[in-house]
Chains A and B, each alone.
Chain A
Amino acid sequence: MENRPPDSPIDNEEGHSQETRRDFLKHSSLLTAYALSPSSLVNAAEMNGLNPPQADTVSIHIDINGTSRTLHVEPRVTLLDLLREQLDLTGTKKGCDYGQCGACTVHINGIRALACLSFAVMQNGKKITTIEGLAKAEASGSAHLHPMQAAFIKHDGFQCGYCTPGQIMSAVGCIREGHANSDAEIKEYMSGNICRCGAYEGIVEAVKEVKQGGQKV
């Protein structure tokens, strides 16, 4: 797509990925490490992609926030990297990249899931909703917020805001799944979203309000 970062491993609709500056730096620093390291490190370096095989790309059709797209991606590209680096949908955050923080939570076919532990190629034929498309999915008008977004603002459900897109996507999922019936249940079913600022009280209030409001989310 447009605006592909210069060192993205993802193909755009026409082009093909090439070895890039970031790969080159990675490889050259690995070579230095190679010369200086015990064998276990060297093995790790080899496994981590020194001389990766030439990439094959796969074409996929996915619906992202209501727009259907045909994309060509290397199988190793995660849904998170596809969204952020190829499609410029940077609302979905990369916190840990290992499934431990929830910042990358999106909806896949309406169900909350972690984009960092999903390969993009495995989403062929699916509908992805990110924070950018959450309100749009509900109503037209660009100033319109999803009720959960409005509730997070009302109840101070954030401070720095880094975890917030993931929290909001997860909160909607929590209600859809029918697990927002008490403070304890909300806390348990929202525990996959870590907030370093500790905005948890406001988050629970926001989820409760939307749940009690009874709107369809």
Chain B
Amino acid sequence: MNNFQYTQPATPKASIDALVKEPTAQFIAGGTNLIDLMKHGIAAPKTLVDINNLTLRTIEQQGNTLRIGALALNSEVADSKLVLEKQPLLAQALNAGASAQIRNMATVGGNMLQRTRCYYFYDTAMPCNKRQPGSGCGALEGYNRIHAIWGTETALTGRTSSCIAVHPSDMCVALAALDATVLVSGPKGDRRIPFTDFHRLPGDTPQIDTNLDRGELIVAVDIPNNAFAKHVHYLKVRDRNSYAFALVSVAAALDLNGSTIQEARLAMGGVAHKPWRLTEAEKALQGKPATTATFEQAATIAMQGAKAYEHNAFKVKMAPKAIIEALKTAAGLG
């Protein structure tokens, strides 16, 4: 690993300034993704701006919103009484990710910006458009078992994007389902980004994972109050029982009036370059009885537009089953 300059500013403004000053500089929070990438030679910042001195760790209810600071640890959020009471889906998703030690280090902001686990991205001897734009995609012609089934076509031409990687986070799938908003602060001031617009599809610029601008610091995440505290489930399907990334995952949330679905939220992980909201399926659930038949219909609708590559056709079969299972568990039909 190349050596780098290390700074630990005391304020968000000083952190942003430090980042803007050096074009390769990066923020570091828990370090659990960035240090890994630096060891692999994938990230090589000349300056690291340690943001751990900033006071961005609070988890609190503010009016109709649950606000979680960007530096709150994944384990703190998952164990927070407020989160367990108000947004248990988020706690479930967090606890499904990584390991207890990593959750004790990983922050909310860092989790959102973790990079893909595509093996070709990690293997610096292989071509990868995300790591080295224009070099090609190792996965398209290679082994693409863990890759995307949605969002891999460019909007304009309909041809395959230059990257078919998936976003690996569990937490982000829950935040997408819960209509969270990301609060950021940058060289040009503060702004709010709806969570579903935070990550982006690859198109022909897969090196850019999100719509965050250079120098922007994630300050907090807001989750608006909702009626989903009772009927939620985060289902994660993986190669081993624990401590593995999702093959597919489902965040399901239902607002039930008796057995009628007032409102539903569905999002998936492991299937696209960003957490994948299933809005058509959500609409199909609204106003229907919470039964297996309803969930099966929704799963069929959800799967529209899915496209498999050579080794990931199993995901197209697995995803609807996971959706049905997650909805049944959320509804208590277990």
Q: Interface of A with B (CB < 8 Å)?
A: 38, 40-41, 43-44, 47-49, 52-56, 58, 74-76, 78, 97-99, 102, 105, 111-114, 117-119, 121-122, 124, 170, 173-174, 177, 179, 187-194
Contact = CB atoms under 8 A, between A and B. Distances in A.
B127 A40 contact: yes
B35 interface: yes
A102 B44 contact: no
A99 B40 CA distance: 12
B242 interface: yes
B36 A41 contact: no
Contact of B36 (A53, A55, A98): A98
B75 A118 contact: no
Contacts of A97: 39
B10 to A, nearest CB: 14
Contact of B101 (A44, A54, A114, A119): A114
Nearest to A74: B3
A76 B1 contact: yes
19 contacts: A40-B124, A40-B125, A40-B127, A41-B124, A44-B41, A47-B44, A53-B2, A53-B46, A75-B3, A75-B4, A75-B5, A98-B39, A99-B32, A111-B104, A112-B100, A113-B105, A122-B28, A191-B99, A192-B100
B102 interface: yes
A119 B99 contact: no
A98 B42 CA distance: 13
Contacts of A189: 100
Given A47-B44, A55-B3, A191-B242, A114 B102 contact: yes
A31 B101 CA distance: 38
B314 interface: no
Contact of A49 (B2, B102, B105, B242): B2
Interface string B204-229: 00000000000000000000000000
Contacts of A76: 1-4, 38
A192 B99 contact: yes
A173 B100 contact: yes
The residue in A117, A118, A191, A192 that gathers the most chain B C-beta atoms within 10 A of its C-beta is A117
B126 interface: yes
A89 to B, nearest CB: 18
B39 A191 contact: no
B32 A114 contact: yes
A112 B104 contact: yes
A198 to B, nearest CB: 14
Given A52-B2, A53-B2, 16 more contacts: A41-B124, A44-B124, A47-B41, A47-B44, A48-B1, A56-B3, A76-B4, A98-B36, A112-B100, A114-B101, A119-B31, A173-B100, A174-B100, A191-B100, A191-B242, A192-B101
